[in-house]
Amino acid sequence: MTHQGVQVPKQSHRPTDGPLRNVRPPKRLFVFDLDGTLAPSKSPLSREVATLLTALLRTMSVAVISGGAWPQFEKQLLAQLGNNEHFERLYLLPTNGTQFYRYDGEWRELYAENFSDEERRTIVSSLERALDESGLAAPRVWGDAIEDRGSQITLSVLGQEAPLTEKKGWDADFVKRTKIVDHLKPLLPNFAIHMGGTTSIDITKPGIDKAYGIAKLIDQLGFSTDEMLFAGDAIFEGGNDYPVQTAGVDSILVTGPDETARVIQTVIACLGDGAEQITAPVVTT
């Protein structure tokens, strides 16, 4: 084909030929929620997710932000990951980012922002009263219902030790917790209230939610929101993952760890070095 005497190459029909327009910065940090996203509530990572996270750490940095305290990170996450040569690329933010851990040969706490004694008393009494007034106090409670995590106080309506089978069916649609939160809001006007996990409500200082953790990742590590990708199981209004999306991070709602595993595989397939073929099911070693 010629045009004004010049040889013009035949047009290709491949839709991806040529540079893509408006390409965003490549994703460099994958941020995950823990409970209900990487692992079942208060339970360890599956072998599959542990294998995929290890592979993902070879591709990009990873951060985990959870309402859970540091011991939960050790039990649910680190115990399943073993000794990982890329831990220096893994950032752990317990209690919604009010604490920050990173690895330099061992895990170190960079900071922790805790409640005063007076704030603690106000929150605990308000949680007890809201639970009572809502009429949703459970007839059976496994372990303590209220847990002080230093910079966050959490009400787990069925108790900290409740079996997952009990917790799963209790408030899957968040209706019960929304009712408790309605009673709680006038009692704690100066605190942030978020629903998370399967039966829990988290109280933090105002402005302390997962978006705060995102801001800390930007401050401490210099990432931009454009470079981050987030996956969580509570990305909806009132959900404890919602502030991340509100902060402008590309956010993927997942139904649970199995779906998270598929998302991680997709990211490795697109951004990884291609050293390993993506397979189904994931081959665990």
What is the contact surface with Mg ion in residues (CB under 5 A)?
33, 35-36, 233-234
Number of residue whose CB is nearest Mg ion: 36
Closest separation in Å from C-beta 34 to Mg ion: 7
CA distances from 190 to 156, 208, 211 (A): 21, 12, 18
Task: Quote the tokens at residue 70.
Answer: 């540091």
Q: What is the rounded CA–CA span in Å between residue 61 and residue 135?
A: 44
Closest separation in Å from C-beta 39 to Mg ion: 9
Q: What is the rounded CA–CA span in Å between residue 188 and residue 282?
A: 46
- Phi/psi for 79 (5° steps) reads -60, -25
DSSP 74: I
Of 44 and 272, which has the nearer Cβ to Mg ion? 44
Of 209 and 233, which has the nearer Cβ to Mg ion? 233
Residue showing tokens 């995950």 = 32
Which H helix or E strand runs over 221? helix 210-221
How does 130-168 read in b/e, with b if 16+ C-beta sit within 10 Å?
Answer: bbeebebebeeeeeebbbebbbbbbbbbbbbebeeeebe
Closest separation in Å from C-beta 3 to Mg ion: 58
Of 86 and 177, which has the nearer Cβ to Mg ion? 177
Of 31 and 126, which has the nearer Cβ to Mg ion? 31
Gyration radius of the chain over CA positions: 22
Q: What is the rounded CA–CA span in Å between residue 100 and residue 51?
A: 24
Closest separation in Å from C-beta 47 to Mg ion: 20
Of 46 and 126, which has the nearer Cβ to Mg ion? 46
Which H helix or E strand runs over 6? strand 6-7
Question: Count of CB atoms within 10 A of residue 44's CB?
Answer: 15
Closest separation in Å from C-beta 113 to Mg ion: 21
Closest separation in Å from C-beta 243 to Mg ion: 13
Of 122 and 260, which has the nearer Cβ to Mg ion? 260
Closest separation in Å from C-beta 224 to Mg ion: 24
Of 17 and 237, which has the nearer Cβ to Mg ion? 237
